[in-house]
Amino acid sequence: MSYISNVLFLAMEPFRPLFVVFPYLFGLGPQRKVVTEEYPDPTSSKSPEVLPLRFRGHLINDMDKCIGCGDCSSVCPQACLKIEASDVPNREKKWVSVFDIDLSLCISCGLCVDACPAASLTHSKEFRIISDEKAGLVLTFGLGVLNKERIDNWDKKIKKDLV
Ligand code: SF4
Ligand code: SF4
């Protein structure tokens, strides 16, 4: 009896995968899962809010904190940070007129974030970076050319933040 059952078992062996494949083909059984998502898909499970804590989206710089030291640029292996900063009389902080990040070069290594002494440079959770031209991949955070109006507004803002 055991000889016959062994033979039957082995005879069925080539057909065993079909028990998995056929239900899948006809949309039956637990194997049938939709795993492909269209893009952009508003119902996608991959929203920025559900990404892991240390996910490295594109960089953002909080210009209220940035001191224009240039440490981030010094450690960047891709030379994708362009910074122009100048001293302002009677103020500790530099005026950062240009702070551009070229995302077409950035490899999201995070070295610049680790090097930033002011913790102003961080990774966002945003992974949707799309542009049909290279210039569209440059993020601009600079405060612009320094002039009296801008420095007055800056002073007012700093005083307001201190209150
Ligand atoms: S994440 Fe890396 S490649 Fe991108 S700007 Fe920072 S240091 Fe450069
Ligand atoms: S290292 Fe930080 S504080 Fe210094 S320039 Fe870069 S972003 Fe600004």
CATH number, domain of 122, equals 3.30.70.3270
| Residue 75 counted as domain residue | yes
Per the document, the length of the chain is 163
Decide if 146 is inside a domain. yes
Q: Alpha carbon of 54 to those of 27, 108, 114, 127: distances in Å?
A: 37, 12, 13, 13
Evaluate whether residue 106 is within a structural domain: yes
Sign of the four-CA dihedral 127, 64, 120, 144: positive
Write the single-letter amino acid at 156: K
In this structure, the residue with its CA closest to atom 3 of ligand 1 is: 106
Buried b (16+ CB within 10 A) or exposed e, 26-45: eeeeeeeeeeeeeeeeeeee
Distance 69 CA to ligand 2 centre (A): 5
pLDDT of the residue at 93: 84
Domain that holds residue 92: 51-162
Q: What are residue 46's phi and psi, to 5 degrees?
A: -95, 60
What's the number of CA atoms in the CB half-sphere (13 Å) around residue 150? Answer: 10
Q: Which of 59, 61, 80, 105 to mutate to test the pocket of ligand 1 (most atoms within 8 A of CB)?
A: 80
Residue 46 is predicted with a pLDDT of: 64
Neighbours of 4 (CB within 10 A): 8
139 part of a folded domain: yes
Residue 8 falls inside a structural domain: no
Instruction: Say how far apart CA 55 and CA 48 lie, in whole Å.
Output: 9
Distance 53 CA to ligand 1 centre (A): 19
Task: Look at residue 45 and tell me if it is in a domain.
Answer: no
- Does residue 128 fall inside a structural domain? yes
Domain count within the chain: 1
Residue 6 lies in a domain: no
Q: What is the pLDDT along the chain (163 residues), one digit of tens a residue?
A: 689 989 998 999 999 888 878 877 777 776 666 777 676 665 556 666 777 888 899 999 999 999 999 999 999 999 999 999 999 887 888 999 999 999 999 999 999 999 999 999 999 988 878 899 999 999 999 999 988 888 888 877 776 765 5
Q: What is the pLDDT of residue 85?
A: 95
Q: Using alpha carbons, select from 158, 156, 67 the residue that is nearest to residue 120.
A: 67
